[in-house]
Structure 1
């Protein structure tokens, strides 16, 4: 019984850390993966580096983004931070 009383605070801390830190991070990662897999040609996006552009072409792992001046840059799909609402 004494051992359980000693381990109870440690177990409680682990459970709290899971629900406060780990679970929300996993949920956010799932949302990002889902967003990146649902990208379509013509979507306005922002990269993790802050580049704003429109998807001009895409394949399984890379995207070609077109800037406002017509220049085209190739990015990894994982570099997309968000899809902007038009």
Structure 2
């Protein structure tokens, strides 16, 4: 009878780690992996940014890109008022929303 209890106790060591392994998998698939995907998308967007695009900075400044360099962009915010900002301060989500709404307005005006 003692041998049966010892064998059952030895197998429970592995099963006690299953919830921990499950939690690690959940964290990876729901937190780490989407964040990595978002970082790759942001990096790609900032590398492909070009002159003439409308952007929004993290601070909420709206403007049109006048000049692009390796790490900075020159943004025209109001009739000749230009700001030199870091590419990393451009908000991907806000810039995409701004460009999507301006494209919709252009399509409506053409009709």
Q: TM-score, structure 2 length as denominator?
A: 0.73
Q: CA deviation at 1:18?
A: 0.8
Q: Deviations over 1:18-65 (max 9, x none)?
A: 111111111111111111111001110001110000111111011010
Q: Which residue of 2 aligns with 1:75?
A: 85
Secondary structure of 2:91's aligned partner: strand
Please state which structure has a larger fraction of its residues in helix.
Answer: 2
RMSD (Å) for aligned C-alpha atoms: 1.1
How many positions carry a matched residue from both structures?
86
List structure 1 runs of 4+ shifted beyond 6 angstroms.
none
**Residue 6 of structure 1 pairs with residue 5 of structure 2:** no
Q: Which residue of 2 aligns with 1:16?
A: 26
Name which one, 1 or 2, has greater alpha-carbon Rg. 2
Structure 1: distance between partners of 2:25 and 2:55: 37
Please state which structure has a larger fraction of its residues in strand.
Answer: 1
Worse overlay, 76-85 or 29-38: 76-85
Q: Which residue of 1 aligns with 2:69?
A: 59
Q: CA deviation at 1:68?
A: 2.3
Pick 1 or 2: higher relative contact order, CA cutoff 8 A, min separation 6.
1
Structure 2: distance between partners of 1:27 and 1:11: 23
